[in-house]
């Protein structure tokens, strides 16, 4: 039986937050007026960052002329030779998003107003947005309140990065090719 990482759910969440903050700090919004692929230099910058990150985790990485990143991680153990599993995301974010050098943490949200440091006019509460009731008691990460901060697929990317890191740090964990 493979030894699982000696990390708590809190530790893994902190690692994912580190990855999320790293990628939301890179401005990668798209430009629908552009005639190039990718449509902005920020998307290339994000590709370069990911190329280095995944190489550091032991992945075989290729980047094409359009800044598409393909990171491959060989399978291990009893699952080494089964069909690979593709985990896919896109790198661009919607026009109008801003890069953020960090996110605000609101621990154990009680449903009261989310305190956006740069925008007192935003009134995100359970009362105003009843669908957020499912998040009561959860820790919330949020931006300053001035603009969206590019979670468009960077949250999924952060989780893929965390998986790659956990597998790199724990070579006894068997897994299929990724």
Q: Tens-of-pLDDT digits for all 178 residues of the chain? A: 555 667 888 899 999 999 999 999 999 988 999 999 999 999 999 999 999 999 999 999 999 999 999 999 999 999 999 999 999 998 878 877 889 999 999 999 999 999 999 999 999 999 999 999 999 999 999 999 998 877 778 999 999 999 999 999 999 999 999 9
Domain count, the chain: 2
In which domain, by residue range, is 109 found? 104-148
CB 5 within 8 A of CB 166: yes
Q: Round to whole Å and give the CA distance between 108 and 138.
A: 5
Do 26 and 87 lie in a common domain? yes
Q: Are residues 96 and 115 in the same domain?
A: no
58 and 133 in one domain?
no
Same domain, 45 and 56: yes
The domain spanning residue 31 has which CATH number? 3.40.630.10
């Amino acid at each position: 039986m493979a030894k699982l990482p000696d990390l708590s759910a809190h530790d893994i969440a902190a690692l994912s937050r580190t990855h999320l903050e790293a990628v939301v700090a890179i401005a990668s919004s798209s430009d629908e007026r552009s005639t190039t692929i990718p449509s902005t230099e920020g998307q290339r910058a994000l590709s370069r960052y990911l190329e280095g990150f995944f190489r550091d985790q032991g992945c075989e990485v290729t980047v094409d002329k359009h800044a598409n990143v393909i990171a491959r991680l060989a399978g291990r153990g009893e699952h080494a030779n089964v069909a690979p599993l593709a985990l896919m995301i896109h790198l661009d974010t919607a026009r109008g998003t801003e890069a953020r050098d960090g996110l605000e943490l609101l621990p154990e949200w009680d449903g009261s107003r989310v305190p956006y440091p740069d925008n007192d006019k935003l009134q995100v509460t359970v009362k105003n947005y009843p669908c957020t009731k499912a998040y009561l008691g959860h820790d919330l990460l949020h931006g300053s309140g001035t603009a969206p901060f590019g979670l468009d697929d960077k949250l999924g990317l952060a989780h893929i990065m965390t998986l790659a890191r956990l597998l790199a740090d724990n070579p006894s964990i068997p897994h299929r090719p990724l």
